[in-house]
A and B are shown apart, each in its own frame.
Chain A
């Protein structure tokens, strides 16, 4: 299976992260709610536990959208810092996950807007703009990471970007949240502050576009040998 071949090229630590359903996935809703309650009442230790649970998920969410590791790391730190500072604005602790994801989405949106703004006024040099427009080409720094894995990774993101470019902004956002970030319809509607039927409509349109030209199937075939 192509996924297994890709996995074999990864470091052991990396494999452990991805073979398991993810720490955040394992964490029960009850545990998250309990930790969120403690964090809201002033426990930074509880917030650190929540950050440990959701760090990888948020990092991936950012990376899926900007595809640049260094920026993704910085943004993830900023997202958790902002979440920690604004904990008192979290009214329903049950919605902590959606609330955190909404912060992340808005942060990514701001980041992209800022990038466009700076490039518009020529603050960045042409070289920097070009470098930041294409997906991250930095190889995985793990010493045991297979070079083949790095090549396949870059190839995948290039093709994935082409597929996503055919969707509108909202369709893309809903698709990413549903199938890459693994959020439910309700969680997406809270995170994007839209009603569920709107989310479903956009998801339907996105899937229809991808289904009719088999782009998902082709992406899976072409990106992996």
Chain B
């Protein structure tokens, strides 16, 4: 960039020079040295900033404490894998998992006990039902058709006809109108 030494520095170039004087071209530096107008603008802005810094410094209250390092260097001989915060976070996480696992195991334990109790009741019930059915009919299932009525036509009269009951006069013929009378 070619700059005329007689041309004044723009405001942008003056700001650049306040940021870092080395950013100016040699011709600009030379102009800044020789031109009273440009140098007064530059120095004015720079002085304002310096004064601002100084007033800010004056406006800070004085600290009351000072720092004294008490800790021994030996503690740094041990490897510090975790900081205090990380350790604390890890501890809390572990505690959380322990509590969660513990409560889950308790829950599952309670669930198992309940399930076992229900299962036992059910098997007991089945067993009692089986016993009751055996009391009512001890014959195996396949004999059931033999002794039980095969159809609706074999009623009591039919059975009496086939197998007359003991003391029936009709068979003995001893009664009135019987075969032997």
Residue positions of A touching B, CB distance < 8 A: 2-3, 6-7, 10-11, 13-14, 17-18, 42-44, 47-48, 51-52, 55-56, 59-60, 63-64, 69, 72-73, 76-77, 80-81, 84-85, 87-88, 136, 138, 140-142, 152-153, 156-157, 160, 179-180, 182, 185, 200, 203-204, 207-208, 211-212, 216-217, 219-220, 223-224
Contact = CB atoms under 8 A, between A and B. Distances in A.
B71 A84 contact: yes
Given A10-B58, A60-B56, A223-B55, 5 more contacts: A63-B61, A140-B61, A142-B62, A179-B49, A200-B23
A175 B65 CA distance: 28
- Interface secondary structure of A, over-half rule: helix
B20 interface: yes
B56 A64 contact: yes
B61 A138 contact: yes
Contacts of B11: 211-212
A13 B63 CA distance: 11
Contacts of A142: 62
A220 B52 contact: yes
Q: Would you list the 7 A-B pairs with minimal beta carbon distance, nearest first?
A: A42-B73, A80-B67, A51-B67, A44-B69, A59-B63, A153-B59, A179-B49
19 contacts: A10-B58, A11-B62, A44-B71, A48-B67, A55-B66, A60-B57, A69-B61, A73-B65, A76-B65, A76-B67, A160-B56, A179-B53, A180-B57, A211-B15, A211-B45, A216-B48, A216-B52, A220-B48, A223-B55
B71 A208 contact: no
Interface string B38-80: 0000000100111111111111111111111111110010000
B46 to A, nearest CB: 10
B62 A17 contact: yes
B70 to A, nearest CB: 8
Contacts of B60: 59-60, 63-64
A121 to B, nearest CB: 18
Nearest to A52: B66
A97 to B, nearest CB: 16
A14 B20 contact: no
